[in-house]
Amino acid sequence: MPARAPISRRATLKGLGATIALPFLEAMLPRGAAAAAGTAFPRRMAVLYVANGVIMDQWRPKEVGKEFNLPRILKPLEPYKSDMLILSELACEKARGGGAHACTMPAYLTGVPIKKTLGADIQAAVSMDQLAASQIGSATRYPSLELGCEYGQQDGYCDTGYTCVYQTNLSWRTPNTPAPKEINPRIVFDRLFGGRNAREMSEAQAQLEVNRLSILDFVREQASDLNRAVGVADRRRMDEYLTSVREIERQIKQPPYELDPKISKGMARPTTIPAKFADHFRLMADLLVLAFQTDITRISTLVLGNEGTRRAFPELGFTEEHHGVSHHGNDPGMIEKHAKINQHQVEQLAYLLGKMKAIKEGDRTLLDNSMILYGSGHSDGNRHAHTNLPVLTFGKGGGTINTGRHIVYPARTPLCNLYMSFFERLGVKAEKFGDSTGPLDQLS
């Protein structure tokens, strides 16, 4: 009996314009290679950005090394303690400038200061995610995926003589061109699975809207044929993956909950972007996980909020907006509110990590084969401090990172040194990046 030819790693399910990439399957490996599946997966990198800093004395553990206790803000990460690194004393000193928030966000991933301007003559630098995408992005459908939970701006005045472009854009394709983030989960879904420009409704996408069909309905026959051709483990992976796709569709399409007429004044809530931060973030996280799982991209950013964000979190029991409580002036009540926002955001991070850790890739998981950075360009948002930043990483980078530790580096160690370490693991060539002085030690 002739040996079965492996399924192509680029195989997709297609039907009426809809395109669904496949997750990794053992049937994609040559016969007899399943035992080595853990070495067959790509490494991925995602950066999750938090605005306005954190309450550092409720963030940083007192203990160093493997025997550390998670402080209050990080408590939701207890199930992922063995998957994380807490990196203390890293700095983003190029974020210093006259615009505390405008100077911070673009410097976070570039390591350079920006040009002060209110006009179109913006000047930053290529961000680390886009440098990586330019070198390894040709292996995937999308070199990178820029996501967010708050709209960006490409013009306007925001911060003491600086254009809004700076404090609402994290990724930069060139020194003069930001890579805008997409915050609408429906548009991201169409981009990932529609096989074309997300803003152009294809015939299949239009039919989905009219008939309320699932995108899976267009590829059902192909999926059934594939299930008959693969083993039990692969059928389970396919079922889990397609269930995730359908659940995201359901959340995008579900009707909004009712607003109090006194508050809404007759205005209907939009159905495409959830009103609550947690609901919005989790949809974007689900899409990010699917993009990594199917190798649609290996590089992504996800902005939880723009620098200086004035988002409010009434679900936490208070109405003051985020930027305001970050300038707490050492008032205990305001500190408590900021800490609650910080912990609420970390709870959503835990959701993303749980999704990634549940996806098996050979003898590892999707999280094991990834490098996730979570942090902010400010430490103390009250003082706009850029040293001793809150920096967490998750995932083992394909087995190259020794996790489960709190590492304290010499004061003012450049954050860009961490990026140099990520580059090494992704196969990205860079002799220097931003204000780096070399790769971080102690990661392996």
**pLDDT given for residue 424 in this prediction:** 98
Cα angle vertex 37, ends 32, 40, to 5°?
A: 115
The residue ranking higher by pLDDT, 126 or 8, is 126
Predicted confidence at residue 408, as pLDDT, reads 98
- 415 vs 389: CA distance, rounded Å: 9
> Is residue 432's pLDDT more than 50?
yes
Q: Give me the pLDDT at residue 200, please.
A: 44
For the domain bounded by 44-179+303-426, which CATH number is listed?
3.40.720
At residue 215, the pLDDT reads: 64
Phi-psi region of 51 (alpha: psi -120 to 50; beta: other; left: phi over 0): beta
Residue 288, CB half-sphere, CA atoms under 13 Å: how many? Answer: 36
Least confident interval from 36-45, 135-144, 207-216, 426-435: 207-216
> What is the DSSP code (8-state) at residue 288?
H
Residue 46 tokens read as 């995602």
Write down the pLDDT at residue 372.
98
Quick check: 32 pLDDT over 60? no
Q: Tens of pLDDT along 99-144? A: 889 999 999 999 999 999 988 899 999 999 999 999 999 999 899 9
Question: What's the chain's length in residues?
Answer: 444
Of the candidates 125, 424, 130, which has an alpha carbon nearest to the alpha carbon of residue 298? 130
Backbone φ, ψ for residue 328 (5° rounding):
-80, -15
* Residue reference for tokens 């708050």: 150
Residue 85, beta-bridge partner list: 393, 405
**DSSP annotation of 435:** T
**pLDDT higher than threshold 90 for residue 441:** yes
At residue 34, does pLDDT exceed 50?
A: no
Low-confidence winner among 45-59, 187-201, 329-343, 390-404 (lowest mean pLDDT)? 187-201
pLDDT score at 253: 66
d(CA 292, CA 366) in angstroms, rounded, equals 8
Contact between residue 18 and residue 242 where contact means Cβ atoms under 8 Å apart: no
pTM (2 d.p.): 0.84
Q: With a cut of 80, say whether residue 31 has pLDDT above it.
A: no
Rounded distance between C-alpha atoms, residue 20 and residue 208, angstroms: 15
pLDDT value at residue 121: 92
Q: Domain ranges in the chain?
A: 12-41+184-272, 44-179+303-426
Alpha carbons 107 and 103: distance in angstroms, whole number = 6
Q: Is the pLDDT of residue 433 over 90?
A: yes
Q: What's the mean per-residue pLDDT of the chain? A: 86
pLDDT of residue 52: 96
pLDDT value of position 260: 45
Do 40 and 364 contact (CB within 8 A), yes or no?
A: no
Q: Which is nearest to 376 in space by CA: 345, 413, 333, 337? A: 345
Note whether 114 and 122 are within 8 A (CB): yes
Res. 2 pLDDT band, cuts 50 70 90: very low
Lowest mean pLDDT among 77-91, 171-185, 269-283: 269-283
**What percent of the chain is predicted at pLDDT more than 90?**
64
